Amino acid sequence: MNKKGQYFLLAALILSTVLFSIGTIFNTAVSVPEDKTSKELAGEMSYEASELLAHDFLQGFSFRAESDLLSLSDYYASNHKDAEIIIIYGMPDSIKARYYINGESSDFASNITLSPPNLITIGYNEESYKFIKHNGYNYFVIVKTEDAYGKFITAK
């Protein structure tokens, strides 16, 4: 065998390994951690609303659920003024919506469409959200937050 050829191949292998390892060391990317504010807020509001509805159901369904849910939403909106919050609530035949911006609330119903058999579509700021309507009381929440890295929207 030719010893010079073997040394050349070994040197080329070592050199290419060193160059490849240097390339992988300097190719890094920095990513921004995900903002979980909207996700956590929507989850917490949805959980609290389900607990209120369960309590109202166990108390004999006194129809105080709507005022309790609005009070709950008012509380969350006043404590999270940096978030836009939209709630969709009501019985299947009378769905309503309310949105909160900077802690201030406003009702709106003109952008809600009920499609047969069980679809709720709501339009807000040139965006459309769809929810599946349930038998019994419905409660859905949309939370929008924004920071220097982008806009985060969560719907539950």
pLDDT (0 to 100) of residue 109: 65
Q: What's the domain count of the chain? A: 1
* Domain-embedded: residue 6: no
* Domain-embedded: residue 7: no
* Domain-embedded: residue 13: no
* Domain-embedded: residue 23: no
CA distances from 151 to 59, 88, 109, 130, 146 (A): 40, 21, 25, 19, 4
* Domain-embedded: residue 108: yes
pLDDT (0 to 100) of residue 1: 54
pTM here?
A: 0.71
Quickly list DSSP for 94-118.
S-EEEEEETTEEEE--TTEEEETTT
* Domain-embedded: residue 146: yes
pLDDT (0 to 100) of residue 65: 75
pLDDT in tens, the chain (156 residues): 567 678 888 888 898 888 887 766 556 677 777 777 888 888 998 998 888 888 887 777 666 778 888 888 889 888 888 888 888 888 878 888 888 888 787 877 667 777 777 888 888 777 888 888 888 888 888 888 888 778 888 888
- What is the extent of the structural domain holding 109? 37-155
Q: Measure the CA–CA gap between 81 and 100, rounded to whole angstroms.
A: 8
* Domain-embedded: residue 32: no
* Domain-embedded: residue 2: no
